[in-house]
């Protein structure tokens, strides 16, 4: 089944040299947004329960998607997070980027921390659910395989003050 949303520049499949097909003619990007620990509340990240019609639907991953040809990975990740999860870019402070580069396709995980209130929720048909998930609980969900592979490195890269709270 194909996505019912309109096509945008950059939408399309790339037959990658790794042997898989990847979404995003200009690559793709997603937002790993962390809410730092505070008081009795553990640090948590926003995860998207992917719509069943999507590639590897029913799994959990990051809000994200295809980059437009004229945008940076940060711009793409923030745009996608706003479109899919209602995350306002003004409530996010970017900490860095992690790039998975296959040569003919790449995925950039933009790592960020909340810098204001964030009302993360499904805002389009690409999400069954959007949830804040404690860092220790992420691996308990059925994760998108590529995100499951990347999660240990991504988690280890989070600054201590973010994971523990400032």
Q: pLDDT tens for residues 4-21?
A: 555 777 777 767 677 777
Q: Give the position of tokens 């991953």.
A: 61
CB atoms within 10 A of CB 134: 14
Across the chain, which distance is largest between two alpha carbons, in Å?
Answer: 47
Question: Residue 106: inside a domain, yes or no?
Answer: yes
CA quadruple 141, 115, 150, 50: dihedral positive or negative? positive
Question: Residue 4: inside a domain, yes or no?
Answer: no
What CATH number should be reported for the domain holding residue 54?
A: 3.90.79.10
Q: What is the pTM of this model?
A: 0.84
Q: How far apart are CA 3 and CA 62, in angstroms?
A: 18
Question: Residue 166: inside a domain, yes or no?
Answer: no
Question: Residue 43: inside a domain, yes or no?
Answer: yes
pLDDT tens-place string over residues 153-165: 999 999 887 766 5
Question: Residue 104: inside a domain, yes or no?
Answer: yes
pLDDT tens-place string over residues 52-101: 777 777 899 999 988 888 999 999 999 999 999 999 999 999 999 988 77
pLDDT at 76: 93
Q: What is the domain count for the chain?
A: 1
Print the domain residue range for 41. 13-158
pLDDT tens-place string over residues 127-149: 899 999 999 999 999 998 989 99
Three-state secondary structure readout of the chain: CCCCCCCCCCCCEEECCCCCEEECECEEEEEEEEECCECCECCEEEEEEECCCCCCCCCEECCEEECCCCCCHHHHHHHHHHHHHCCCHHHEEEEEEEEEECCCCEEEEEEEEECCCCCCCCCCCCEEEEEEEEHHHHHHCCECHHHHHHHHHHHHHCCHHHHHCC
Question: Residue 8: inside a domain, yes or no?
Answer: no
């Amino acid at each position: 089944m194909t996505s019912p949303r309109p096509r945008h520049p950059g939408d399309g499949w790339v037959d990658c040299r790794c042997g898989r097909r990847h979404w995003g003619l200009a690559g793709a990007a997603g937002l790993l947004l962390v809410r730092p620990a505070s008081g009795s509340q553990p640090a948590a990240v926003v995860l998207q329960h992917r719509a069943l019609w999507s590639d590897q639907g029913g799994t959990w991953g990051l809000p994200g998607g295809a980059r437009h040809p004229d945008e940076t990975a940060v711009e793409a990740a923030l745009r996608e997070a706003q479109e899919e999860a209602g995350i306002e870019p003004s409530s996010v402070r970017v900490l860095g980027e992690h790039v998975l580069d296959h040569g003919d396709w790449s995925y950039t995980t933009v790592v960020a921390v909340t810098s204001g209130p964030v009302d993360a929720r499904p805002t389009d048909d690409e999400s069954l659910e959007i949830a804040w998930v404690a860092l220790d609980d992420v691996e308990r969900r059925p994760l998108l395989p590529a995100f499951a592979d990347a999660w240990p490195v991504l988690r280890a890269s989070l600054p201590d003050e973010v994971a523990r709270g400032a």
